[in-house]
Amino acid sequence: MEEGLILNVKLLIKNGTIYTHNKTIYNQDILIEADRIVKIDANIPDDNYEVIDATDLYIIPGLIDMHCHIQDPGFDYKETIYTAGQSALYGGFTTITCNPDLEPCIDNKAIVEFLVSKTRKDCAVHVAPYGSLTQKCKGERIAEIGEMQLAGIAAVSDGDIAIQDAYVMKNLFQYCSMFGMPIITHCEETSLSNDNIINEGAISTYLGISGAPISAETIHVMRNLLLAEEFNAKLHITHVSTAKSVELIRSFKRQGMKVTCETSPHYFTLNEEAAMGYNTMVKVNPPLRTEADVAAIIKGLQDGVIDTISSDHRPDTIDSKDTEFDLASYGISSFETAFSVAYTYLVVAGYLTLEQLVEKMSYKPSRILTLNKGVVNVGAIADLMIFNPTEDYLVNAKEFKSKARYSPYDGMALNGLIKYTIVDGKKNVIHD
């Protein structure tokens, strides 16, 4: 969003219930002036303000996505900065990140500055870019991390490309420990993963597809935990998918290590059986695992071992999915379903409270990335999402704002209809 264009508009949200990560406030009004929350109280007078009637609606901090793919620059036929922003907005996200494995790769100061400028102009939500760990995300030579941090990156990562060389990874943890930024890692031992087409087990055998064993993930999880511990580095592990990974991370956390991790909605709602019939809509990396792994992911979310929930939005063309399973692309178009899927399967199902979900999708991501967001306080930036907790809706992927109009949840009934997303105090009507 272009700086300097925020108008001095006053927006009054009336009679809503505010949920944050640590409290619930009933029947409160929120007064927003320009891009800030200036007052939270009951019965704030309507002095000709623009008003949102939030009676029976829930107000939460805007969602923050720690793991998603914008695909622009380089792959804008899959998604552009504009369509990514619109899609995120409709999913209740007010801040998204940008993985660096683009073309050109985000591996130097000039690319970071270009991306920051372009996203401010073309994107409806805030974008916190990631700089690459290695040059061109090739896993060989360390990128210009210090200069990129000065240019505005929020963290360092090679996206969904796992660094295979343990010596390179050791040097990265040692070097990055001086910057205080999280090192975000995709964990995959490619010599074992068989391109991660599907989980290794009964379903892969039935379908006649070479599967990826859980060790393809857990070997790198353990390696990265040990290396990060050695240099006291801030490690964040993406899309945790296995019970064994949860167990390993839990063990290191109990020892006091400052590791954080995330999962995504498909890992706690779907299992490997969803791939039956060679269903390419559920081809993801890492692959969907067993029902026992799904249960372990939910348990990890409940006890706090898994810190955050990201969308893992990875859009592609419909042609890339409408093909043979072996040839199909990885990923799900998930900006617009991530919150409602999580709300339906975790909160409505009774596994988490809404406060816990807010912590995992807003407050904790903000703290990990040091964004100073994820709260509803006087003086805070007015990034909010308002939804109806009792209104169900059917997912219609053809109406997605993303270019990738497909989803394994297409046609499914979900709870929690998003009504408004407010970014920098600006109201965006999502559903009337």
Catalytic residues: 312
- Mark 264-282 as b/e (b = at least 16 C-beta within 10 Å): bbbbbbbbbebbeeeebbb
DSSP 313: B
Look at the block and give the residue holding tokens 């067993």.
290
Helix (H, G, I), strand (E, B) or coil at 278: coil
Whether 392 and 321 have beta carbons less than 8 Å apart is answered as no
Q: How far apart are CA 358 and CA 234, in angstroms?
A: 22
Q: Which of 135, 64, 60 is nearest to 100 (CA)?
A: 135
Q: Which two tokens stand for residue 341?
A: 């899927």
Rounded alpha-carbon distances, angstroms, from residue 3 to 31, 98, 153, 370, 372 = 22, 19, 18, 20, 18
Taken as a whole, the chain contains a residue count of 432
Q: How far apart are CA 4 and CA 13, in angstroms?
A: 24
| H helix and E strand count, the chain | 13, 16
Look at the block and give the residue holding tokens 């969602």.
63
Residue 36 — φ and ψ, nearest 5°?
-125, 150
